[in-house]
Structure 1
Amino acid sequence: MKNKTNVGLWDIKKIYKNPMSMVLIGLVLLCVGITFYFNNQTSKVISFESTIAKEIKNYKLGIAVLEKEIRSGSFSDQQKAMRRNDIKLSQKLLKRDLSIQKYLASKKWSQAYALRLKTIDMDKKLNQNETTDPTRKPLENAIERERLRFLALKKRNVQKYNEDFSANGTGFFLWTWQNIIPVLLTLVSVYIAVNLFGESYRSRINVSLLIPQLELVINMWHIGITWIVSSVLLLMTSLLTLSTGTIVNGFGSLNYPVLFYELPTMSMKFNDLYQILLPSFCLQAISSLFILVFVMLICSIAKNKMASLFISLISTIGLFLLTSTVDPLKKIGELLPTTYLQSVSVTTGATAYSLNNPRITFSMGIIMCSLALVVLIVLISLISYFRRIRTARNQNSIESPLYPRLHN
């Protein structure tokens, strides 16, 4: 037990004494700060309240222009009649938006969303009149998505924020987990793991095995320490994003509706935010563990830090990014453990929807990452076993009685 504790302390010291590890951790924190600043500024410009205010302004300007055109003598009676109908419609929508603005100011969210749903239903009916146009399908999906979103918001009676530029506590926390953590946290974890595992090789010999313990036990101890460090970094980043958003814009709501895609039908629905947290954390944990074990395998083969770092980054982050752009990889995305690094998008079905691959699910992610872990551990054990056999044979040949005779 004492030897294992010494191994753990040795690993931790190597991690925090390496200046580059601290630089990368600082980079993650800096990215969080910068993205929060831009999210906060953008969210104010494109918030629901700002959108309603802009619509009110546009309706007023539009009505004034139409009235001016009617007063002019350059239009026929039919054209003037059409403009009068447009004015009536604009006045109706203007009155509705003024009511929405009033409800939003008094924080009567459900009443505001109920009025907004009337506008969305009207847009849906207008779009259905042109269903023969294939270009209308994306617009139809967008309208239906907004309709379902406002229905969910009305049911939960919570304030709406822009999900693409979230800036409150829970919103920014989820946004960071979805957009920053999959790449940056993987980058930091890979570097820390390569630095830890690669440092063990001196003159292409694993010096950590000089500790009187089984090699597999030592390797698992290294992986465990690195995984704990990665988990702590994930927790710190999550707490930082949650606290930053909460201090500036409030906590938000754990009941906030988040878009889910039901698989395999790809139909849309909205579930509460808290339903994402536990599955996403479990998937993030096991996919991160896969990355660390994979890095150990690369280090045991390459026995060189720079080569191991290059191969590991290309095989993890590179493959992760290519999966969303290369069609052959999209088709087999469910078989790649790196796909599940984006645990939030996998849990909500957004990854399956964007890659058009309904087989990418939370359960498939757990299965594939578990199988990959077993395969990697077996490979690491076999490499270690055959190296020990080769080392033993070399020692036996040196100690053989025939060895001195060859030099007589």
Structure 2
Amino acid sequence: METKQQRAIIVGVELQHDDHFAYAMEELRNLAAACEIEVIGELTQKASRINPSHYLGTGKVQELARLLEEDEEAAVIFNDELSPSQIRNLEADLDRQVIDRTVLILNIFAERAKTKEAQLQVEVARLQYLLPRLSGMREALGRQGGGAGLKNKGTGETQLELDRRRIEERITALQRELHSMVLRRQLQRKQRHKNEVPVVCLVGYTNSGKSSLMNALVDTYHPGEEKEVLAKNMLFATLETAVRSIELPDHKTFLLTDTVGFVSRLPHHLVKAFRSTLEEVAEADLLVHVADSADPQVAQHMEVTTETLKALGADGIPTIFAYNKADLAGRPYPLVEGDTLSLSATERKGIDELTDMIRARVFTDFIRCEILVPYDRGSLVSYFNENAHIRETSYEEEGTRLLLECKLSDYEKYKNDFTELSREA
């Protein structure tokens, strides 16, 4: 049997000096679509402040009630996080399900979370959102506990305290489990630094094509190895940090990290819950800020990403700006202009240019040199063949002559085992 798609009316209050209101409402439509909710109407109000009891003014609540009469099953989605009393009052007056922006995003995250860590993070955020809203849910129970005298008084309140304690205990247990995962990831990060493998992090607005770009790089340098990540044309397709090792033809290796996409007004519960995952960004050697150049709101998206990076303490990291989906935007590509690149991840055009830009920024500790390795140190020639970029090899009377590009640390480690003929920093 076919299930009926849920329908809803979206509602927002435009405060003074809010230049991004129209965009926020459009994004709310997209968030609803990501939850498979059909938006059948929209109601907005201009105001100097949010109504503390109903979010909207009295007249607008009545107008909303009239709109809802046209569809008996439609819910209402609000463009802000509502307080417990606002939800309670609106549901009482409208007799409909009331959903706020935070619940919408939490639902999407819950649906998309695939790894254990992402699922735990979403549950923590959901419970933290639920905690202050328990009283509304328990009000009916409290009323039942009234009656004459004091005999049954407080039954609802006692139940409320039990619920609150259970939720707080659950949050503590989840946070303990998450903490052990964070420690494990910190250990992995220390190991990477020890191995001197540079980390390149893909950041950007949700659905800008970060995962597609990661797959394009993986497919270019590791074809057929099935290391691709999920890439879909939807909001928050990626909720877990994916790390892939990319080995270039010249034996240079870097770690490429794909992160959760950003969104405007991301609920603070989620930012807090996902902070440990996003800390990966602050540890990177280079950021690739991926933007959907075909989206009319690309400038706004990039601003949100920049502000989020600032909040994470990652605003000082060297950055490449990758304008993705250039094929849909009608802009010339591949095109490099300073720290900016126009490309198309799906068409695999601009990948070589991006690789060159990454190479120039993260492999600064490499030197070019010409060396002569004695024949009795043949193992060193094998080592450089595997770990350096050999440009030329010839066999002289005294040993093997190599023209190569290698890590400065390798050069310093083995410099007593060969004769240097020339060196270029």
Q: TM-score range by the shorter chain?
A: under 0.3
Q: Is the strand fraction higher in 1 or 2?
A: 2
TM-score (ref. length: structure 2): 0.22
TM-score for both structures, normalised by structure 1: 0.23
**RCO comparison, higher one (Cα < 8 Å, 6+):** 1
More helix by share: 1
